[in-house]
Amino acid sequence: MSDDALAQVEGSAPNEPEVYDWKALVADLNGLLRLRTTPIGMKLFETVEEMEALPRIRRPKEIHTTDQIVAQAARLNWTVGITADDLVGQQCGAVIGLHPQDEGWLSGRHMTGVWFETIEDAGAHQRAMHTVPHGRYRAMAVSPLASGRLDPPDICLIYATPGQMIMLISGLQWAGYRKLEFGCVGESACADSWGRALATGEPSLSIPCFAERRYGGVLDEELLLATPPAYLPKAIGGMKRLSGNGLRYPIPQYGIQSDARAGLGASYARD
């Protein structure tokens, strides 16, 4: 991300390469993790014209949720661009900074009695969400990473099973270790993934919410990692080193009644 990125990056982020080989990065991700869903990028634009200048950009003909727009890239391999006018209600647009996070939105009135018992509960939920500040951006686009059309995207989105995800996170932690901590706002969990990653510049793991699964086609077994692209080479490099140590996906089952000493010796002990 640029020097005037959305927020100060917490911790020590990797240096961004001068050039990304998107096809090679995606090939590595697929080879290491056997992903079933297309890794995609998301990028915010200060003008609609910048977004519409992307190669092979599609514009919605109907009103959608952001979850549906993301899914069109991840499930259909489309490059899709939107403005606030393409989104239903404020909730979707507010997370990515296309709608204002005004007092009406912060009150949580629209979620009271539906997702939360009281207006106080709903307002606390709204204030807990990570969002992009409103005012700078007018458009957003998503596209498969391998297409290279968002070069670079602000963030990359990777859908994966818990087993795949722990290997991806372990790759991130191979060198320069630090504990990664994530949150869960519950419904509107896009704030935990793309909202948090855009707002903080940090890798952000989420449990996709009801709306993401109902409208965005997210599968029961999928988690979502949103991360600035500079973290991808680091994660891939770490996973390759782990693979060389015999720690790779799919994780073979050892057996719940077997003597564990031989397996532990191979996977954890060092001479």
Contacts of 263 (CB under 8 A, 6+ apart): 254
Residue 187: predicted pLDDT: 96
The residue among 166, 155, 172 whose CA lies nearest residue 237 is: 172
Residue 204's beta-bridge partner residues? Answer: 226
DSSP 164: H
What are the boundaries of each domain within the chain? Answer: 22-249
pLDDT of amino acid 3: 36
pLDDT in tens, the chain (271 residues): 333 333 333 446 788 888 999 999 999 999 999 999 999 999 999 999 999 999 999 999 999 999 999 999 999 999 999 999 999 989 999 999 999 999 999 999 999 999 999 999 999 999 999 999 999 999 999 999 999 999 999 999 999 999 999 999 999 999 999 999 999 999 999 999 999 999 999 999 999 999 999 999 999 999 999 999 999 999 999 999 999 999 999 999 999 999 998 888 878 876 5
> From the CB of residue 5, how many other CB atoms can be counted at a distance below 10 Å?
15
Start-to-end CA distance of the chain, whole Å, equals 42
pLDDT at site 271:
58
| DSSP characters over 48-87 | HHHHHTSTT-B--SS-B-HHHHHHHHHHH---EEE-GGGB
Q: Which of 154, 132, 140, 135 is nearest to 52 (CA)?
A: 140
Measured distance CA(188)–CA(95) in Å, rounded: 9
Question: Which residues have CB under 8 Å from 65's CB, separation 6+?
Answer: 87, 88, 92, 211, 215, 216
pLDDT of residue 12: 60
How far apart CA 181 and CA 178 sit, in angstroms, is 10
Backbone angles phi, psi at 140, to 5 degrees: -145, 150
Distances (CA, A) of 95 to 2, 63, 72, 99, 132: 20, 17, 18, 8, 6
